[in-house]
Amino acid sequence: MKHPLRWLAAGIGLVVVAFAVVLAVQDDGPRQTGGRLLGQEMPAFDLPTLDGGRVTSEDLAGKTVVVNFWNSWCIPCRQEEDELAAFYERHRDDGDVALLGVVRDDTEQAAREYAEQAGLGWTVALDPEQQAALDFGTTGQPETFVVAPDGLVTGVQLGPTSLGQLEQMLEEARTGAPSAP
C-alpha cells in the first residue's frame, strides 16, 4: 500500500499545484462582452426608415458608414445625441460619409416621437425584428460602429460616444487603421 499510495499522493499533489497556478494567473477584471465585429465585414441589412423608405447596406457601399444603435428611453443615448448631431452637421455634405441611426429595442411610435421632438436630421432606420441588432452583435445601447469604404468594421464604441471620438474613428476608417474599442 505504501508505494502506490505515495505515487498517488504525489500525483494528486502535482495536480493541486498546477490547479493553484492556473487560478493564480487569472486576471480578475470584468470581461468585455460584445465588440466582436472589429475587423469583420459589416453585416448586410435591409431596414425600413422612419420617413417611410428603406435603407440597405448596399445603398451605403463604398462610403464610410457610422451606424449608431439607440432608442428613446436609454439615458446615455440622449447624452450622446448632441455629439451625433454635431458630427452630422460637419459631414452631412460629405458624399462619402453616411450616418445611420438604428432603433434598438423600442416601439416605433416612441422612436418616431423622440426623433421628431429632438429633430434628428440623419437617416433613422427601424429594426422591428431586432435582426440588425443581433447581426451586429449588440447587447445594449448606445453602440456605435464605424465601417470603412471597403465594408470592414474599423471602429466599435460600446456606450455613449463623443464628437472627438467619432472624428477619430472616421479618420481611422478613411486611412485604414483600426481603432480599439
Partner 1 sequence: MVFAASINSALGRAGLLLMLAASVFGALAVLYGIRQHDRKLLKQGPLYAWIAFGGIVLAVVMMQRALITRDFSLAYVQQVGSADTPALYNIAAMWSALEGSILLWALILAGFTAAVAWRFRKRTDDVLVAWALIVMFVVSAFFAMLSFGPADPFAAGAPGVTSGPGPNPLLQNHILVLFHPPILYLGYVGFTVPFAFAIAALVTGRLGEGWLMETRRWALFSWAFLTIGILLGGWWSYEVLGWSGVWAWDPVENASFLPWLTGTAYIHSVLVQERRGMLRVWNLSLVLATFSLTILGTFLTRSGVVDSVHAFVESSIGPALLGFLAVVALSGIGLIAWRGDRLRAPGRIDSPVSREAAFLANNLLFGAFALVVLLGTVFPLLAEALQDRQLSVGEPYFDRLGTPIGLALLFLMAVAPALPWRAASGELLRRRLIVPAWIGVATMVVALLLGADGVAQVLTFGLAGFALAGVARQFAVGIRARRRAHGESPPAALLGAVRGNPRLYGGLVVHVGVVLLAVGLAASAGYATKREVRLAPGETATVAGYDVTYLETVTDRSDQKVTVQARARLVRDGDDLGVYAPAISTFPNATGGIGTPSVRTGLFEDVYLTLVSSPTETGRVTLGIAVNPMVLWLWIGGAVMALGTVVALVPGRRTTAVHLPAATTAASAATGPADGGPADADRVAEPEVPVG
Partner 2 sequence: MSAAVRRWLPWLALVAVAAVTVAVLVARSAPDDSDAARAARLAREIKCPVCEGLSVADSPEAVSEAIRTDLRRRVDAGEADDEILAAYAARYGEEVLLRPEGGGLGLVVWGLPVLLLVAGGGALAVALRRWSREPRLEASAADEALVARARDGGP
Interacting residues toward partner 2 by CB under 8 A: 31, 33-34, 36-37, 40, 105, 129-131, 133-137, 139-140
Chain residues 16-35 in contact with partner 1, contact rule CB under 8 A:
16-17, 19-20, 22-26, 28-31
Residue 117 makes contact with partner 1 by CB under 8 A: no
Say which residues have a Cβ less than 8 Å from residue 54's Cβ, sequence separation at least 6. Answer: 46, 47, 48
Letter string b/e over residues 63-76, b meaning 16 or more CB atoms within 10 A of that residue's CB:
bbbbbbbbbbebee
- Min dist CB 107 to partner 1, Å, is 6
Q: Which is nearer to partner 1, 76 or 151 (CB)?
A: 76
The count of chain residues that interact with partner 1, using the rule CB under 8 A, is 24
134 binds, among partner 1, partner 2, none (CB under 5 to 8 A by kind): partner 2
Q: How many Cβ atoms sit within 10 Å of the Cβ of residue 59?
A: 14
CA–CA separation, 119 vs 83, rounded Å?
14
CB 36 within 8 A of CB 137: yes
Residue 128 makes contact with partner 1 by CB under 8 A: no
What residues pair up with 143 in beta bridges, in sequence order? 69, 158
**Residues in touch with partner 1 (CB under 8 A):** 1-2, 5-6, 9-10, 12-13, 16-17, 19-20, 22-26, 28-31, 107, 109-110
